[in-house]
Amino acid sequence: MDFQDNEPEAVVTQRSIDGTLGILKTCLRSNTVKKVVYTSSITAVFFNKIKNVEIMDESYWSDVDYIRSEVKSNLSSYAITKTLTEKAVLEFSAQHGLDLVSIIPPMVLGPFICPKMHVPVHTALSPILGSRKNNNLLLNLAMVHMDDLARAFIFLLEHPEAKGRYNCSSDTVTAPKIVEILSTNHPEFPIVDTLEGIEGVKLPGLSSKKLLDLGFRFKYGVEDIYDGIIKSCKEKGFL
């Protein structure tokens, strides 16, 4: 995905839709694929005109026209692409009788194997790194442990009654709570930014009630997520 908007939004979006539908057409032609789990994003949910909502379920969609006119963020093109691609995927699967569910993760965190500190980790650790880039997201941060997300993929793939969209968010935490967890559980890393005075829109959380009602259970909480982040950062020499 092009987070820097180096290409026109329409080009990126059409490429995403064409590529994803191409995969689904191949699944249909194979006659062996029984079910597909598509990965969407929280950005396909919360960018809209609706105000004063603390938590959003699967009925909420991002408004593409609203994003284009009102949202000034490097996530704008990404959000439009994810929104329109998910809608195209759900429409295609309904038209062709393809058993498909869409999973909607928030910020995915925890231990990681990539060689660089990627943006979500950098944002999550801003109280000890001192960076304020994207830390407005910490006003109200929906998150999920990467292992729980992987388990949810398998769960939805195997569950015969799974249909439609599923939010997959274990927790929503505020900036003060993040500072408290880091200072209490990892005191070896001093807090250099208490995150006071952060400006920006407080984003809603994601309701995972539909997923939980189907029988899924999260194994990891916020403290587990941060323990995994810190452990990986230590191992890679980032901290």
Out of 25, 35, 51, 82, the active site residue is 82
**3-class secondary structure, 157:** helix
Beta strand extents in 78-170 (DSSP E only)? 100-104, 107-109, 141-145, 164-167
- The secondary structure of the chain in percent helix, strand, coil, rounded to multiples of 5, reads 45, 10, 40
**How far apart are alpha carbons 86 and 82 in whole angstroms?**
6
**How far apart are alpha carbons 74 and 12 in whole angstroms?**
14
**How far apart are alpha carbons 14 and 181 in whole angstroms?**
42
Query: Quick one: which of 135, 107, 239 has its CA closest to 193?
Result: 135
Asked about 82 being catalytic, the answer comes back as: yes
What's the token pair of residue 88? Answer: 């195209």
The strand pair at 141-145 and 107-109 is best described as parallel
Query: Phi, psi at residue 46, to the nearest 5°?
Result: -100, -5
Active site residue ranges: 82
